[in-house]
Amino acid sequence: MQTQQTLVMFGVFVGISLVVTYWASGLSTTSRGFYAANRKISGLQNGWAIAGDYMSAASFLGITGLTAFYGFDGFFYGVGAFVGFLVVLLLVAEPLRNTGKYTMADIISFRLRGRSVRATAAVSTLVVSLFYMIAQMVGGGAVVHLLLPQLGDSTAIVVVAVLMMTYVLFGGMLATTWVQIIKAVLLMSAAVLLGLLVLIHYHFSIPSLLQSATAVTKGGATVNLLKPGLLFVGSLGAWNLVSFALAQALGTAGLPHILIRFFTVSSAGAARRSVAWAMVLIGAFYVLVSLMGLGAAAIVGDDLIGTRLYTGQAITYIAHHADQAPQLNAMLTQFGYIVPKIDSNLTTPLLAAQLGGSLLAAFVAAVAFATILAVVAGLTIAASSAFAHDIWFNLVRRGAGDETENLWVARGTAIVVGVLSIVLSISLRGYNVAFLVGLIFAVAASANVPVILLSLGWRRFSGGGAIAGMLGGLTASIVLIAISPVGMGDRAIFPLTNPGILSIPIGFLCAMIGSLMLPDREAQAMYDQLQVRATTGLGAEV
Amino acid sequence: MPVQQVPEHHHITSEQWDELAADPEFRALVRARRVFVVPMMLFVTVFYLALPIAAGFAPGIMSRPVLGSLTAAYLFALAQFPVGWLVLALYLRRSRGYDLTAARCRKHEMEEIRG
């Protein structure tokens, strides 16, 4: 019943998004239309689209679940994600709009003219976008499978990939933008509705909600979710938290699929207004996530969050697990179902089911599905513009290729990216890909952010420095993750679970040392022009 | 404000760019932005990083309830949102002035280019 409701609602979303794609297809026949939606998106629209591009299923389901289970430490994920936009607002969005054209590599190549600089930036974009895509697809497939058990996770992956290819192939950036806006509206509605229901449950008394969060039963013990230290535990817990905090806040400014959104608006002022709207929406969303997480822990109860087995299945399960029979039988008598395995990803849908019934739970599941789609569509267009505009048009054709060919290459890349992500995601299915999400923010913060900031703000920055910075940051973050407890378990060489605290300074250092060792007079001379363009918008792409 | 200044911007020579970069009004704009953005960025960094550092290294103090049952850590985490919005509001207010100066610089330069 609930599955059917979810599928109907998701079907409506897909129907609307396909109509939007059809409408957008006529307006996406040039490079400017395909990559940048003709730069006609308004600040308000782009703010919603950034929110839709940024808030993934990991936010909606994952962070709510982490807050329900680990309180403060889980909520901190949302804090870092929000603060990241202050870096984008103050340092990146406006100069980016004024100096770039379609891709992240455009910004860096503005005054660093070497072909290898652009190639490295394009490769870094492709690496970050593909990793992010796989994390979204594998995680998304698992989530869809949880929410709609009848649908296999491979089926879910294929459905998501085919839809995202359709949006990008036919509707380019314009269709992607509107899919993200519609998804953001749905996501915000779901969060507001659930937050409101939690408040109603507590008769609008926040003190009593907080009071109940101080004594939550979890695995037989009672924990206070408002205290820090439930997730980042152990002797290195504090260092893990700080390293994670650095990568989480700096990474946002290096995510290519977020950066290219600023090329869709008409001016630096509109870029600034987009960040403003995005910050209002994203901030409100994470505050609501905190409300939902703490509410779920108290209202649903952490021990009951997971896949529930009712009478028949429960008895079969208990028969096969005789060792846990006493507790499970007690659970069955008390609640009418058993939860053999806790799963924090189900926090949001179970909270919805308990407070709003099966219809709301179905809506939440449909929103989660839509969320995955909007994010992967943004990643696909980031990857196809990096390949078609940077590698094909600028490097292979040396800026002389024609428009039609360019667009076919972009569409071809979208297909390759789609097929590649299906193959990789299905083969990685069942593996824990959570490390990929941490890796993406750390890679973006270490490889992309130093180079973007230095190219906008340091006169002596050079092409050699950019290549050293990107390769150094990329290598450091990937190697450190591989030899960390995440990659090697107990035999880890690097003790922290997040490489940020070391790999971000390595990225900056490589970029600076590289620039001093390989100075570039022309790039230094271009710095004045860059500053004039970035600050006044003179000569910016229209 | 649409960016419709110099469609023929390819024709701005490097001498002209240098001239614009030396324009006192432009230099003042760059300075004004820097004077606002740099301290703001420092404040944001310190205010944000203080949270994980305090929560990680002084969990005892940060676990104390300070407002009803709300702990110092959770209150500090929630405070990041209104403080972030405040920085946003201050920046938006400042940037109106920057936009006006930037428009003047552009106009000024276009007149010079056209002779």
With a CB cutoff of 8 Å and minimum separation 6, the contacts of A425 are: A133, A134, A137, A138, A141, A157, A161
- Sign of the Cα torsion A185, A186, A192, A193 reads positive
Q: Which of B14, B40, B49 sits opposite A529 (nearest CB)?
A: B14
Percent of chain A whose predicted confidence (pLDDT) is above 90:
62
Bigger pLDDT: A195 vs A156: A195
Enumerate the H helices of A202-305 as residue ranges. Answer: 206-213, 237-251, 256-259, 268-296
Residue B87 near residue A244 (C-beta atoms within 8 A)? no
The mean pLDDT of A281-290, rounded to a whole number, is 96
Nearest CA in chain B to A224: B63
Evaluate whether residue B2 is within a structural domain. no
Summarised one tens digit per residue, pLDDT across range A216-271 is 988 878 999 999 999 999 889 999 999 999 999 999 999 999 999 999 999 999 99
Buried b (16+ CB within 10 A) or exposed e, A392-411: bbbbeeeeeeeeeebbebbb
For all residues of chain A together, what is the average pLDDT?
91
Given a contact cutoff of 8 angstroms between Cβ atoms, the answer to whether A388 and A125 are in contact is no
Q: How many angstroms separate the first and last alpha carbons of chain B? A: 25
Domain count, chain B: 1
* Cβ contacts of A136 within 8 Å, gap of 6 or more: A56, A57, A58, A372, A375, A376, A379
- Residues in chain B within 8 Å Cβ distance of A226: 65, 69-71, 73-74
B99 within a domain of the structure (yes/no): yes
Task: Please determine, for residue B33, whether its predicted confidence score (pLDDT) is greater than 90.
Answer: yes
Residue A434 has pLDDT above 70, yes or no: no
* pLDDT tens-digit readout, A376-385: 999 999 999 9
Which structure tokens are listed for B100? Answer: 């006006």
Question: What residues contact B85, with CB distance under 8 A and at least 6 apart?
Answer: A279, A280, A283
Query: Would the pLDDT of A495 be above 80?
Result: yes
Which has the higher per-residue pLDDT, A539 or A444? A444
A532 with B21: Cβ contact below 8 A: yes
For residue A80, pLDDT over 80 is answered with: yes
Cα angle, residue A189 at apex, residues A188 and A190 outer, rounded to 5°: 90
Residue A46 contacts residue A265 (beta carbons within 8 Å): yes
* Token representation of residue A131: 């990793």
Whose structure tokens read 């907080």?
A210
Residues in A closer than 8 angstroms to B38, CB to CB, are: none
State the amino acid at position A305 in one-letter form.
I
Residue pair A214/A226 in contact by the 8 Å Cβ criterion: yes
Assess if residue B8 is contained within a domain.
no
Interface test with B, best of A524, A532, A533, A535 (most B CBs within 10 A): A532
Mutate to test the interface with A, among B17, B92, B99 (most CBs of A within 10 A): B17
* Mean pLDDT value across residues B29-37: 94
Q: Which residues of A touch B77 (CB under 8 A)?
A: 72, 75-76, 79
Structural domain containing residue B86: 14-113
**Residue B3 forms part of a structural domain:** no
Domains (ranges, CATH) in chain A?
Answer: 2-306+342-536 (1.20.1730.10), 307-341 (no CATH)
Q: What is the mean pLDDT of residues A462-476?
A: 96
A161-172 average pLDDT score:
91
In the prediction, which pLDDT does B22 show? Answer: 86
User: What is the ipTM for the molecules in this complex?
Assistant: 0.93
User: What is the rounded distance in angstroms from the CA atom of residue A137 to the CA atom of residue A52?
Assistant: 16
Residues 280-309 of A with CB under 8 A from B: 280, 283, 286-287, 290
Q: Does B90 map to a domain?
A: yes
Residue A41 in contact with partner chain B when CB distance is under 8 A: no
Q: In this structure, which amino acid lies at residue A94?
A: E
Residues of A in contact with B65 (CB under 8 A): 226
> A279 and B84 in contact by Cβ < 8 A?
yes
- Angle at which helix A449-457 crosses helix A521-536, to 10 degrees, equals 90
Q: Tally Cβ neighbours within 10 Å of residue A162.
A: 11
Chain mean position to CA A352: 23
pLDDT digits (tens, 9 = 90+) for A10-56: 899 999 999 999 999 988 888 899 999 999 999 999 999 999 999 98
> Quick one: pLDDT at residue B45?
97
Nearest Cβ partner for B20 among A241, A269, A532: A532
Q: Please tell me the least confidently modeled range out of A7-11, A344-348, A437-441, B24-28.
A: A437-441
Q: Model confidence at A430, in pLDDT bands (50, 70, 90)?
A: low
Alpha helices in A260-346 (DSSP H): 268-296, 311-320, 325-335
Give, as one character, the DSSP assignment of residue A214.
T
d(CA A483, CA A528): 43
Contact A226 B74 (CB under 8 A): yes
